[in-house]
Structure 1
Amino acid sequence: MSPRDGVLDDETVGTALVVSSAVGFGTLAVLGEYAFAAGLNVVSVLALRFSLAAALIWPPLAFVRRRAGDLASLRLRGRTLAIAVLLGLVGYTGQSALFFLGLRYLTAGMTTIVLYTYPVFVLLLSTTVLGEPLTRRDLLALPLALGGVVLITGADPAGVDPTGVLIVLGGAVVYSLYIVVGRVALDSTDGAVLSAYVMPAAAVSFLAVGSASGQLSLPTSQLGWAAVLGIAVLATVIPVSTFFLGLRRVGPSRAGIVSTVEPAVAVALGAVLLDEPVTLVTLVGGALVLVGVALVQA
């Protein structure tokens, strides 16, 4: 049905879901900085993030599906189950670890801006793996986005660590793989169920690493618990679920472009809550990244 019939079409709903996801993810870097300020390390933050998220998503999901008489939809099998578990064990684990490691070198806003080269990588993967055509606009988008990252890096050499940029770029590549593979899994299940499997799988990864390295610890202050709970709810359960729900409706390339709301949220929150500097050159570099990825959608 069309919007004229009083029902929003799939593309409109999908876009709204991805925007809400981007806003949620935009809080992640700032909340991560608060968690670090409370004395938590990267492994502990991520182990708590995904453990709490898994505990929060399963009860309401099971309740809703039971009420609908659709408990069978919660049981993934075979290839779909394998993909969902690998998305958590490898995909989300790798992207999250690289993102939070990047926060140790870069500001919250800068980390998110660099991560936002990922729609270009999604484009390239969609072209090579899924057979989508590569247009002239796409060829212009790639150097613009990556040129923006270079400009950000060179704008203030004393304030931007190239190591952090490389780490977060690695996270962008991993995230692009996660999105493309996730779209394949959505042919057999829905976004909420896929999220419910991804989160505990990611939790297992970080709990295993933390136990083996002796790095696991719990927050010892109200600030620490507030940051961790915020990360689990605002920056994980809500945005991961809404992203997968939107991804199924609009596809990987469009979802990546719509998500460009996220760096704007992260930069604004970093400036307001953490007093992070926002220079003109940084804004120009960030704008180039956003223009580059927006061209993919134009």
Structure 2
Amino acid sequence: MESDRLGVGLIFVSAVGFGTLGIFGKLGANAGLSNATMLVFRFVIATAVAWAYLLTTGSLRPLRGRNLLVGLGLGALGYATMSGLYFLGLEFMSAGLVAIILYTYPAFVVLLSVAFLDERVTWKTILALGLALGGVALITGANPANADPVGVGILLFAALVYASYITVSRATLADVESSTLTAHVMPAAGVSLAVLGTMQGTLSVPSGITEWSIIVGLGLVATALPIFTFFAGLSRIQASRASIVSTVEPVFTVALGALLLDEVVTLTTVVGGAIVLSGVILLQRG
């Protein structure tokens, strides 16, 4: 039970960290940083932190064989692909609608977990999933009338990719330490995104204190911390539960947007956040 609560807590911390990604992204865009630059250098910073931690603690255990291929694949194919599809989806629809379609991924995780991880799904899991999806819809203010069929297809595929990433990660963590897996996933994602950014001609090196401050924040707060804690939490609880707890991420993104960027928060948004949190509390008591 103690390990279970710690797992939920770690996933919660991870969601808070990932919730800062949109804030740093907006600050970076305002500072003139391209998406490619922010995506690549966030992983450069995070990778440096991960490997420094493993070296200083004497826990460096480089992956080999199948686990090495899986770890690199999770970063280069899983995380990087999902990130690329997310930004591509933004070209077709509003950020709110993109968010609600992407956040269907917990439903995919539940299905994949039952099929491949032999996880048992209870009525509380299904209810919590419904609350989480409904709450996210209210938070993002998504309007289905503005849904572009191509964009919907792209985002549903992104959700499936991310769900597969979580499911494979959960299976891999049965044999690999969470910190070790983190240290292999991040550089693989960074290299994949660097190749894509170079091909597009949008990758550049940050300059000045402001740009580097944003990049460091992205690397530490929005990448290294949440990925470390996500894998650590995922190794302790079911993948289906972890994905549902992660839906608190947009709650913190909206809250931080209001505090730091003076973004408007409506009553509907507050209600949506409360519904998401109620789903997480239901899981914790389950």
Residue 20 of structure 1, aligned match among 9, 13, 27: 13
Deviation at 1:220, TM superposition (A): 3.6
Partner of 1:281: 268
Residue 143 of structure 2, aligned match among 110, 134, 154: 154
Aligned residue runs from structure 1 range 1-298, under 5 A? 9-65=2-58, 71=60, 74-101=61-88, 106=94, 115-140=102-127, 145-147=132-134, 152-154=141-143, 170-285=157-272, 287=274, 298=286
> 1:148-202, CA deviations, whole angstroms, 9 ceiling, x for partnerless residues?
56663129x78x9998777555443322211110011111111100000001100
Change (3 A) 1:169 1:148: farther
Relative to the length of structure 1, the TM-score reads: 0.80
Unaligned runs of 5+ in 2: none
Relative to the length of structure 2, the TM-score reads: 0.83
> 1:84-111, CA deviations, whole angstroms, 9 ceiling, x for partnerless residues?
010000111022233455667655x886
Change (3 A) 1:215 1:177: same
Deviation at 1:208, TM superposition (A): 0.9
Change (3 A) 1:19 1:149: closer
Change (3 A) 1:267 1:217: same
Change (3 A) 1:41 1:214: same
> 1:45-64, CA deviations, whole angstroms, 9 ceiling, x for partnerless residues?
11111122112221221221
Q: Which amino acid counterpart does residue 178 of structure 2 have in structure 1?
A: G
> 1:202-237, CA deviations, whole angstroms, 9 ceiling, x for partnerless residues?
011011112222211122443322111101000111
What RMSD in Å do the two structures reach over aligned CA positions? 3.2
> 2 CA distance for matches of 1:95 and 1:143?
23
How many residues of Structure 1 are paired with residues of Structure 2 in the alignment?
282
Contact 2:170–2:235, Cα closer than 8 Å, also in 1: yes
Contact 2:182–2:231, Cα closer than 8 Å, also in 1: yes
Deviation at 1:77, TM superposition (A): 1.3
Contact 1:186–1:248, Cα closer than 8 Å, also in 2: yes
> 2 CA distance for matches of 1:128 and 1:92?
22
